[in-house]
Amino acid sequence: MKNSWLIILVVLLFTLFVLELILGTVTIDIIKGFIEFNSVDGNILESRLIRASVSVLVGASCGLAGLGIQTLFKNPLAGPTTLGVNSGASLGVGMFYLIPGVSMHMEWLGLSFFAVLGALAFLFLLIVVSGKSLNLTFVLIVGLLLSYASYAILEVLLQLSDSVGIKSYVFWGMGSFNRANVYSLIALLLVSVMGFVVMKKYATWLNIYSLGDTELKLLTRKSITFNKRLLLIVFGIWIGLITSIVGPIAFVGVVVPNVLKMVIKSSNLNALLPLTALLGAIMVLLADLIARGAIGGFVLPVNAVLSVLGVPIIIYFLVKRISGARG
């Protein structure tokens, strides 16, 4: 069953990747582009190769980070968006763009630093709350409140900022892969590999941690505390870097793990990791194809497309969860 889905997802991802290279406002001959790399087709192909590769890494990373956060908080509706972690990263970016004088030098490095810092701060606040209360609905509410607090602070910063800072922040906030370049691709590749290796190494530990109190006794308190903090740091760096490069990416981290758990009927992280990475990459690639006008002929923010794709699925799982609790 797992192998069948693995093959299907690989084929689908390859197909979408090729379409991402061919389609757009200008349709190119990719064979000519590879042969004559200095031609017009070659230049467009190079740009689209970087964009498509970044889309794959962002989708895979968001899916995997979402799976890890859901397991860590023992809540299928937890994720970078629903827990407010994206809002933390967005607040960091807002402070970078909107506070006068902050974005003077080394813009990309500074932007990433502030986004990672914001994501980590929100994650640590959430883990402190979840440590005192195992009421997971309460944790989600706290995530929502942190998001509101982030928006309130950003509103104040927007009022105090100049027009250049506001324009930069608004453009970033729409979510776009237009800023993707070779350097951001390399950074994403390194962080994605690091994240996947950590997730793979701790998959068995997370499986035991997610089972319940009886199985949890197999883990020492020191192990639980250390591993939680380590995983939170990894997720914070991961989400913060993604947010700094392409803007806030909505719902992928919540939707992808839930769909896969329903389809393959398993919560085993060792089985879910490769499938989650593939489906996350497929979801973001499809959204980017739609967003940049390759399908439909009109250009939209990536985040808007992901919201349209993700919100109905999240509502479905939320209704299903409530119905199951009542039953």
Q: Categorize the per-residue pLDDT at 297 as very low, low, confident or very high, splitting at 50, 70 and 90.
A: low
How much is the pLDDT for 8?
A: 92
Calpha distance 231→316 (Å, rounded): 29
**Regarding predicted confidence, which is higher, 118 or 105?**
118
How much is the pLDDT for 235?
A: 84
3-class secondary structure, 107: helix
3-class secondary structure, 26: coil
pLDDT in tens, 2-44: 678 899 999 999 999 988 888 777 777 777 777 777 777 788 8
**Regarding predicted confidence, which is higher, 239 or 14?**
14
Token pair listed for 324: 């199951």
Tell how far CA 164 is from the center of its chain. Answer: 27
How much is the pLDDT for 208?
A: 84
How much of the chain, in percent, has pLDDT values that exceed 90?
17
Backbone φ and ψ of 130, nearest 5°: -65, -25
Beta carbons of 95 and 157 less than 8 angstroms apart = yes
**Regarding predicted confidence, which is higher, 170 or 277?**
277
Most confident of 7-11, 18-22, 75-79, 94-98: 7-11
Token pair listed for 131: 């440590």
Q: Categorize the per-residue pLDDT at 184 as very low, low, confident or very high, splitting at 50, 70 and 90.
A: confident
**Regarding predicted confidence, which is higher, 232 or 282?**
282
Closest Cα partner for 48 from 14, 16, 15, 24? 24
pLDDT in tens, 242-293: 888 888 787 888 889 988 988 888 888 988 999 999 999 999 999 888 887 7
**Regarding predicted confidence, which is higher, 309 or 269?**
269
- pLDDT above 70 (res 188): yes
3-class secondary structure, 299: strand
How much is the pLDDT for 278?
A: 95
Backbone φ and ψ of 25, nearest 5°: -65, -25
> b/e for 216-255, b at 16 or more Cβ within 10 A?
eeeeeeeeeeebeeebbebbbbbbbbbbbbbbbbbbbbbb
pTM of the model: 0.84
Domains of the chain: 2-326 (1.10.3470.10)
Closest Cα partner for 33 from 18, 11, 55? 18
pLDDT in tens, 145-159: 888 888 899 888 888
- pLDDT above 90 (res 88): no
How much is the pLDDT for 35?
A: 77
How much is the pLDDT for 219?
A: 66
- pLDDT above 80 (res 138): no
How much is the pLDDT for 142?
A: 79
